[in-house]
Amino acid sequence: MRPASYRSLRERGFTLIELLVVIAIIAILIGLLLPAVQKVREAAARMQCSNNLKQLGLGCQGYHDTNNCLPPARIHDLYANWATLILPHVEQQNGYNLWNIAARYYDQTPAAREVQVKTFFCPSRRGPGQLSTSGDRVSAASAHVPGALGDYAGCSGNLNQYPGMTPNVPWFDGPHGNGVIIASSATMPGGSIQSFKGLVPLTAVTDGTSNTLLMGEKHVPLASFGVANGDGSIFNGDHEWNYCRIAGAGYALTTNPTDTASWNLRFGGSHGGVVMVAMCDGSVRGLAVGTDTTTLGGLASRAGGEVVNVP
């Protein structure tokens, strides 16, 4: 006869069926909790993205306070751009000090080109630490010159080409741009930058600073991360589609990570249904992906006289 203590231990044990039931209940609870956890994470990421754009907007306003104009899209072709110029105004003075503003992007030190700024990254997409993988080169025969990336782009307006140029040849951040982040007026005696100034003071935003896009999330398909056809170095003033975008007819918003239609000209994010943008008054809002392109075009221009009604 077995001891009573042995029988009591067996009586307190789990049967296989009981164990399976417990495991099934735990699995169901995890299945119910995961979507809620994911929603909380995305809400936090969207809030951080909104805060990033707020800081970038304040950085642009700080630049304006110092220079009486919004930061230009780029000083000149091949030179530094808005992302470099606002560094002192987003608490990145040390990174800015690495730059020789009179020199081309390709002539900067690796330390300057590769400055990592957490504020430039949407946490729903990626974080700092990565460099451009291809295309940041001055000519087809030149070597790739990698630089830091970024998930935000200035708004150059709603025009996709320079008047008089061959159709579909983009130079949308040039002085003709009707947005707020466009080219500067640079003085270059002997081919060297001597001075420059942005072309857009806030007084030129006659459509109203609360109705005019300053910058927003830039659309980048998953397969194009780091490629300088729209996602090269955020500091490279050689390729406008790396750091600027347009909005309007033909250039709708998107959050589809596989959408490749005119992707390097469009705004788009990773928040499912909305694209986060900063306005010229410093406010930040989420624009619905379905916002019609007429409204987008009105928001993108600084002095078009359009009447816009953003839901």
d(CA 144, CA 179): 30
**Per-residue pLDDT at 94:** 97
61-65, 102-106, 167-171, 304-308: segment of lowest average pLDDT: 167-171
Buried residues in 43-62 as b, exposed as e (16+ CB within 10 A)? eebbebbbebbbbbbebbbe
d(CA 33, CA 39) in angstroms, rounded, equals 10
- Answer yes or no: are the C-beta atoms of 78 and 237 closer than 8 Å: yes
Q: What is the pLDDT of residues 281-300, one digit of tens each?
A: 999 999 999 999 999 999 99
Q: Return the closest-CA partner of residue 251 out of 239, 266, 264.
A: 266
Token pair of 51 as six digits: 């805060």
**pLDDT band with cut points at 50, 70 and 90 for residue 164:** low
**CA–CA dist 192, 138 (Å, integer):** 17
* pLDDT surpassing 90 at residue 161: no
- Model pLDDT, residue 186: 87
Express each pLDDT in 6-27 by its tens digit.
Answer: 455 455 566 777 677 777 777 7
Statement: residue 167 has pLDDT above 60: no
At 272, the pLDDT band (50, 70, 90 cuts) reads: confident
Please give the pLDDT value at position 285. 95
Rounded Cα–Cα distance for residues 8 and 309 (Å):
75
Strands (E), 66-183: 152-155
Q: Are 292 and 58 in contact (CB under 8 A)?
A: no
Q: What is the pLDDT of residue 168?
A: 53
Give the start-to-end residue ranges of the domains of the chain: 16-300
Beta strands in the chain (DSSP E): 152-155, 184-187, 195-198, 213-217, 244-245, 274-279, 284-288
If you count them, how many residues does the chain have?
311
pLDDT-wise least confident of 182-196, 257-271, 294-308: 182-196
- pTM of the predicted protein model: 0.86
Q: What mean pLDDT comes out for the span 253-268?
A: 94
Enter the tokens of residue 91: 């608490």
Contacts 24+ apart (CB under 8 A), 302-307: 302/157, 302/178, 302/179, 302/180, 302/200, 302/204, 302/205, 302/206, 302/207, 302/212, 303/178, 303/204, 303/205, 303/206, 303/207, 304/178, 304/207, 305/206, 305/207, 306/207
For residue 118 the two structure tokens come to: 């957490």
Please, which pLDDT band fits residue 67 given cuts at 50, 70 and 90? very high
Q: Across residues 47-74, what is the average pLDDT?
A: 97
Q: Is residue 244 over pLDDT 70?
A: yes
Nearest CA to 240 among 62, 53, 70, 75?
A: 75
Residue 28 CA to residue 164 CA, distance in Å, equals 63
Tokens at 302, concatenated: 């600084």
pLDDT (tens digit per residue) in 108-148: 999 999 999 999 999 999 999 999 999 999 888 899 999 99
Asked if the model's pLDDT at residue 169 lies above 60, the reply is no
Q: Which is it for the CA torsion 79, 82, 87, 88, positive or negative?
A: positive
What is the average pLDDT value for the chain, to the nearest integer?
89
pLDDT digits (tens, 9 = 90+) for 146-157: 999 999 999 999
pLDDT at 199: 95
Overall average pLDDT of the 239-259 stretch: 94
Say if residue 166's pLDDT is above 70.
no
Q: For 173-230, what is each residue's pLDDT tens digit? A: 988 899 999 999 988 877 778 899 999 999 999 999 999 999 999 999 999 999 998 9
